[in-house]
Chains A and B, each alone.
Chain A
Amino acid sequence: MVLAQQDEVWSMRRLVNLHKMKRPIGKVIVNPDLCKDCRFCIEFCPNNVLEESKDVNIKGYHYPVVRPGKELDCVACRMCEKVCPDFAITIVSEEYTTYDKYYGVSRHAHGG
């Protein structure tokens, strides 16, 4: 049931001219040594792109890194940058993706 509904959504979305619609892909740039591991960026990212690093910076804090498999999911909304109190994270967005490509890739990545 749930799956069928999801498929309906997919097909509805595909009716739009998806191959022409573009959205930016953000590249996450972190300055690890400024980060204090407050987790604001991780919690407030609407796409759940970030997670804590395994490594620590020179002060012993974990810093945000892109979740494996989420490399194309940053939509460059800059929320992480806005909530960071420490100038530690920023977004560069020079590339774009079309929606059909993005959904293709991300469905593939999730095995769907």
Chain B
Amino acid sequence: MSTEAEVTTTGVKVELPKSYEDIKDLIRVDRLPHIWCPGCGLGILLKLLARAIKNSGIPIEKHVIVTGIGCTGRLGGYLKLDAYHVTHGRAIPFAVGLKMANPELEVTVVGGDGDILAIGGNHFIHAARRNDDINVIIVNNFIYGMTGGQYSPTTPKGAKTTTSPYGHYENPFNVPLLAYAAGASYVTRWTVLHQNELYQSLLEMFKVKGFAVVEVLSPCIIYTDRNAMGDAVDLMRVLKERPVIDHRANLADLDIDFSMKKIILGNFVKRERPVSYG
């Protein structure tokens, strides 16, 4: 059809379909199928991010992806551009360093809720406080996926995980509120099903001067498995049925709790604040 079939490292003959013609030079076809589980939302984000990078108006040589550890951290490895895979939680300081050294770069961090908000939590709030000119995509799957389902800072109260078999006692972070309070210039939350909106947010994120945070709610089968929520399709159905889009929502109301009937999504914050680095 479009590209010549490539025999991948996994031995599968892969031909990207015609509809991916636009991003075929950005995807490492030789590494497909990717390592993510059946029903993981990360593959969808990969496609959208590749499209957003392609259509950002910024040359691909200027784009840099920085990822830490975790399933989400593997995303950079499927993109054919400068991508750095650094230690757990340290994607943000690495990205800030890149931006300080070369302010012309468009630096984007992609990380899981554990990577960015647990081990990397301190870096997150201080980069937001300084309003460093980088982009951070937080893939919130409510759990540590890669290591087998320990609770993360966004695990909803009451949720069962490997480390909270009787239900989680702690309160989760309200990510948009945290990002705003710490000082981010741009804060949005979408799911992998709200693709047009998420795509527009990604494009906007590249334009924003300052710390841009895009929270992406994504299904993880480790989470559904621990919580008897069925499989990824069932969580996707929840992400389809419950969201309410409210760009002017009170940020304090953005907690996510699967016992509640709604999950608020939107482009919540866009403001100008002095930028420290970048």
The chain A residues found within 8 Å of chain B, CB to CB, are 29, 31, 33-34, 36-40, 43-44, 58-59, 61, 78, 81-87, 89-92
Rounded to whole Å, the gap between the CB of B133 and the closest CB of chain A is 30
Residues of B within 8 A of A31 (CB): 14-15, 17
B38: CB under 8 A from chain A?
yes
Q: Contact at B36–A81, with CB atoms within 8 Å?
A: no
Distance between Cα atoms of A28 and B143 in the complex (Å):
35
Distance between Cα atoms of A79 and B113 in the complex (Å):
27
Closest chain A residue to B39, Cβ basis: A38
From known contacts A85-B41, A85-B44, infer whether A33 and B12 are also in contact, taking CB-CB under 8 Å: yes
Partner of B19, one of A34, A38, A90: A90
B248: CB under 8 A from chain A?
no
Distance between Cα atoms of A36 and B43 in the complex (Å):
12
Distance between Cα atoms of A43 and B14 in the complex (Å):
25
Distance between Cα atoms of A31 and B29 in the complex (Å):
13
Residues of B within 8 A of A40 (CB): 39, 232-233, 236
Q: Contact at A90–B18, with CB atoms within 8 Å?
A: yes
Please list 27 pairs of residues, one from A and one from B, whose beta carbons are closer than 8 Å in the complex, sorted by A's number. A33-B12, A33-B33, A34-B33, A36-B37, A36-B38, A38-B232, A39-B39, A39-B231, A39-B233, A40-B39, A40-B236, A44-B240, A81-B19, A82-B44, A83-B193, A83-B236, A84-B43, A85-B39, A85-B41, A85-B42, A86-B34, A87-B16, A87-B17, A87-B27, A87-B47, A89-B17, A90-B20
Distance between Cα atoms of A99 and B13 in the complex (Å):
39
Q: Contact at A87–B38, with CB atoms within 8 Å?
A: no
From known contacts A61-B38, A87-B16, infer whether A34 and B32 are also in contact, taking CB-CB under 8 Å: yes
List B21-49 residues whose CB lies under 8 Å from chain A: 27, 32-34, 36-44, 46-47
Distance between Cα atoms of A82 and B13 in the complex (Å):
22
B273: CB under 8 A from chain A?
no
Q: By the criterion of a CB under 8 Å from any partner CB, how many residues of chain B are at the interface?
A: 33
Q: Contact at B18–A85, with CB atoms within 8 Å?
A: no
Rounded to whole Å, the gap between the CB of A69 and the closest CB of chain B is 24
Residues of A within 8 A of B44 (CB): 82-85
Q: Contact at B43–A43, with CB atoms within 8 Å?
A: no
Distance between Cα atoms of A40 and B36 in the complex (Å):
15
Closest chain A residue to B45, Cβ basis: A85
Residues of A within 8 A of B16 (CB): 87
Q: Contact at B12–A34, with CB atoms within 8 Å?
A: yes
From known contacts A40-B236, A91-B19, infer whether A58 and B38 are also in contact, taking CB-CB under 8 Å: no
Q: Contact at B40–A85, with CB atoms within 8 Å?
A: yes
Rounded to whole Å, the gap between the CB of B41 and the closest CB of chain A is 7
Q: Contact at A38–B38, with CB atoms within 8 Å?
A: yes
Partner of B14, one of A33, A61, A84, A91: A33
B247: CB under 8 A from chain A?
no
B276: CB under 8 A from chain A?
no
Residues of B within 8 A of A29 (CB): 17
Closest chain B residue to A37, Cβ basis: B38
B195: CB under 8 A from chain A?
yes
Closest chain A residue to B17, Cβ basis: A90
Residues of A within 8 A of B32 (CB): 34, 86-87
Partner of A86, one of B43, B193, B240: B43
Distance between Cα atoms of A107 and B232 in the complex (Å):
34
Rounded to whole Å, the gap between the CB of A3 and the closest CB of chain B is 31
Residues of B within 8 A of A39 (CB): 39, 231, 233
